[in-house]
Structure formats: structure tokens, C-alpha cells
Amino acid sequence: MAWPYYGSGFPLIDRSITRLGRLLTILFVVLMLRAAWVQIFAREQYQENPYNPRAHPGVRDRGVIVARDGEPIADSLGDKRNYPFGPALAHVVGYTSLRYGNAGLESVYDSVLSARDGAETVFQRLSEVVDRHSHRPARSGGRIVTTIEPPIQRALFTALQPYDHAAGIVLDVHTGAVVAAASVPSYDPNNLDADFPRLARDPDSALLDRAIDGLYPPGSTFKIVTAAAALQSGVVNLTQTFVDPGYLDVAGARIQDDNREATGIQTLAGAFARSSNVDFAQIALLLGAPRLFAQIDAFGFGQPLDFTLPTVHDHIPTAPGLSDSVLAQLAFGQADLLVSPLRMAVVAATVANGGREMAPTLIDQVTSADGRPQQRVPELLATPLTPATAAALTQMMIQVVNAGTGTAAALPTIQVAGKTGTATNPAGAPHAWFVGFAPADNPQYALAIIVENGGYGGRVAAPLAARVFAAALNK
């Protein structure tokens, strides 16, 4: 029997067709392997790329972010992501957008919220690819429980709202938990897609989280660090006196107090309460750069702060070759020194916690899509103060509020401890600061508040602190 012949009758053409077929088969296999590699092995790399618009396939099954008491701060209503706190918590919770990516907690915990964290093995990832292409129902995302306490958060944001540019942050003294954090101007994450082009060009930088990413000269709030160095080194004691005639000339630079005041003869506590720049310049010169910088380093200034959200680094002058005039100004928080409100809140909390510095955090618990909960455990960062030094600083900070520059922070039935700051900056009016904690005899909350170009810290920032402490302790 003769078999039919399907060739072309031209052996050269037949061989070419065979080779082409083999080549196409190889290319097809390569493409399939590449697609499998991208979807299974290299998936995380592409998902975490902020320029990947397909990293946000939708929000219908996205997980929920809640406050400490369970109140939602980010959830999904159908195909729309919902932010019940609106501008009051925008910088903390952030946003998720198909067009503009993620920010805040929505970004940090995107893999948990979008249920991608469960794919831990190649086989699980392959199964997810099959599910996606077979249109099986998507898994719901995980659950993030934050440390935010809604009454304190609302009180802080309301207190800051009247100002053009301001920020504040409140910590649980014993655990480092951030119970409130706010920055103004703010934005409404519910309208992010419509507002983003305007926000990106906003000269007031409404997208900037000033509480953790703003850098400012701390002014006289930094006298807490200088006083700590003086006491712990033994160079200065609580009964030692200093003379402030209103100015001090150091290496060609003239040091003066705010409003050119002269505090006269004061002990360390008196100089602290009345916030004498002249006295603290003298203290810095007695200390010398090595002792002062040892205390600065002990607090962790200039080092990365391991926080839930990305943070900026402090700017600290270098000790070697530091002139006496710069050292004198550093003592009261000037001289090219830049820190964040978060950093100063940690300093206040450390004093309140007996010298123990706790790692700040925004997270209480993370539950993955498969139901596995992970509870956050408070973490000790360092112990920059002895209990005796912390106790002495507490009494000095009480005196600031009772009879010094911070009387506007006082509450009728609760003892507040704090320190004011009026930080000179070359761009305009001074920044107004207040850092402190309450109740002073049994500390629960510490805070830092700054009002950009606000003027005198005791008049502007201190009363805001009183309002926030009142809300926190009466909630």
C-alpha cells in the first residue's frame, strides 16, 4: 500500500519548515517559562515595585485596618476604598490607588491587606495563578490592628487644624505605641485619585507627614538632652548656679535669650524652667563636645529609627572640630541641628519611663489572610538615662509647667511635665514647640507638638498640649 505524500516535493523547503516549527516551539516554551517565572518566582519583586499599576487589582477583597478599639480606619465598600477618618488620619493610613500606588500603612502592609502574604511556597503561588485564571473567588485580605486611639487622634488633629503648618504625635510611655499622629495641612484619602495632581504640586506639601518626616531645629526642647548630659556626667549638679546677664559672647558669636531676657542667677532647674540660652551655653562649654555627644548618641539621634513607617534621619553636627560657638548653640537646639517631632516625643517618653527608651510603633496586631495573628511585643531600644537622672529631669519639667515657660500646658487636676521650645529658623518666624508627658507622677502619655513659624512655644504649642492631654486622660 502506498502512503500519501504531504511534502512539498522540495526537500530544502521541507527542512526549513521543520526548523521553523522547532524554533517556534522553543520560543513558545521560553515565553511560557518566562510567564511562570514572573507570576510565581519573581512575583514579589514586581508587586512591590511602586511603578507597577497592576499591583492594585482592586479593593473589594482588600483587608481592613482598624484602630486599637476596633473602629475601622480603612475598609472597602464595594469597589471603593473607604477612609472613615478622612484628613484626620490621612498621613498614617495613607491610600491605595490603581493610578498612584500606595502610601502609609496601606503601602507597608500591602501584601497582608491584599492577601498576597499567604503564598509562601511555589506550589501555593502556582495555585493562586490557576485560581486567578479560572475565575475562582479571591481570598479576603488580612487585618491590621493599629495602636491609634480615636479620641486622642481626633483631639490632636482638631487642635492642629487652625494652623497652616503643624504636627503632633502622642506615645504610650511604657510601650512606645503611637496612639495619635497628625500633620496639617492634610488631604482626604477618599478623594485621592481626583486630588492627587493638585496635591503633587501643592506648595504647602499636604502629602508630607510632618510628624515623622518633618525636620526642624528643636530649639529649647533639646535642653532636656543637654541637662541629661550635665547630670549624668556629674559636671553639673542641681544646686550649682549660673549667671545670665542677657548675653554671652563665645568665639565671636553672641548668645542671647528669647526676647533678650536676662534670667540673672539660677540653678540648673531654674535655668531649665526659664529656658535660659545663656546658662545652657555655659553648661555646654563645661561639658565639652565629647560628653554632650555621648548623650546625644545614647538617645539615638542621627541613627535610623526603626519605625512602622519610613522615617527621615536627624541631622546632627559632627563632634570633631566643633567650634565653641557651635557647641554653645547646640546646647539649646540650634546650630544646624534638625530633628523630627517623632524623635522628640521619644525623648519625652524616655524621661517619663524612668530612662528606658521604647521603640515607637503603630501596630498592635497583624492577622494574615489565613488567620494567623502576630501580636506586637514592646521593644526596648536603649537606656540612655539612669532612673535618678530621669527623676531629676521630671522634676525640672514639672517646674517648667508650674512656674516656667510652659504654664499654658497646665491642667487643673493633672500634673503635666514638659519643655517649651522657640526654634529660630532662617525662613521666617520661629517654630513653636512643646514636648512633655502626663500625669507627671504616673506617666501614661508623652507627646511632641510643633507649629511651624508659630512663634513662642509657651504661648502657641503649650496650650495645644494641654488640650490633647486632657482628651487622652479623660477619654
Axis crossing angle, helix 277-287 with helix 223-233, rounded to the nearest 10: 40
- The β-bridge relationship of strands 428-438 and 417-425 is antiparallel
The CA distance from 228 to 421, in Å, is 17
- For residue 275, indicate whether it is catalytic: no
Check 220, 325, 340, 368 and give the catalytic one: 220
Axis crossing angle, helix 457-473 with helix 150-160, rounded to the nearest 10: 160
Place of cell 476604598: 81
Lowest mean pLDDT among 45-49, 112-116, 241-245, 369-373: 45-49
Whether residue 385 is predicted with pLDDT greater than 90 in this model: the reply is yes
- CA–CA–CA angle 342, 346, 348 (5° rounding): 115
Q: Determine the 3-state secondary structure of 384 from DSSP.
A: coil
Whether residue 364 is predicted with pLDDT greater than 70 in this model: the reply is yes
State whether the Cα torsion 383-384-389-395 is positive or negative.
Answer: negative
The CA distance from 363 to 368, in Å, is 14
pLDDT category, 123, cuts 50, 70, 90? very low
Spatial contact of 298 and 382, defined as CB atoms under 8 Å apart: yes
pLDDT of residue 24: 81
Average pLDDT over residues 121-128: 49
Whether residue 167 is predicted with pLDDT greater than 60 in this model: the reply is yes
Q: Which three cell numbers stand for residue 123?
A: 506550589
Whether residue 262 is predicted with pLDDT greater than 60 in this model: the reply is yes
Average pLDDT over residues 26-40: 75
- Measured CA distances, 124 to 121, 129, 292, 453 (Å): 5, 9, 55, 54
Q: Where do the DSSP E strands lie in 59-165?
A: 64-66, 72-77, 80-82, 95-97, 101-103, 143-146
Average pLDDT over residues 374-380: 95
The CA distance from 384 to 159, in Å, is 32
Spatial contact of 149 and 69, defined as CB atoms under 8 Å apart: yes
pLDDT of residue 44: 59
Question: Could you read off the pLDDT of 202-230 as tens digits, one per residue?
Answer: 999 999 999 999 999 999 999 999 999 99
Q: Determine the 3-state secondary structure of 266 from DSSP.
A: strand
pTM surpassing 0.75? yes
pLDDT category, 319, cuts 50, 70, 90? confident
Backbone angles phi, psi at 323, to 5 degrees: -75, 160
The CA distance from 205 to 185, in Å, is 8
The CA distance from 396 to 224, in Å, is 9
Question: What CATH number belongs to 166-188+198-358+380-473?
Answer: 3.40.710.10
Average pLDDT over residues 268-290: 96
Question: Could you read off the pLDDT of 405-446 as tens digits, one per residue?
Answer: 999 999 999 999 999 999 998 888 999 999 999 999 999 999
Question: Could you read off the pLDDT of 242-253 as tens digits, one per residue?
Answer: 999 999 999 888
pLDDT of residue 121: 47
Percent of the chain scoring above 90 in pLDDT: 75
Domain definitions of the chain by residue range: 13-43, 166-188+198-358+380-473
207 contacts: CB under 8 Å, gap ≥ 6? 103, 187, 199, 200
Choose among 25, 88, 6, 92: nearest CA to 342.
92
Averaged confidence pLDDT in the chain = 90
Percent of the chain scoring above 70 in pLDDT: 87
Whether residue 396 is predicted with pLDDT greater than 90 in this model: the reply is yes
pLDDT of residue 427: 83
Beta bridge partners of 143: 64, 367
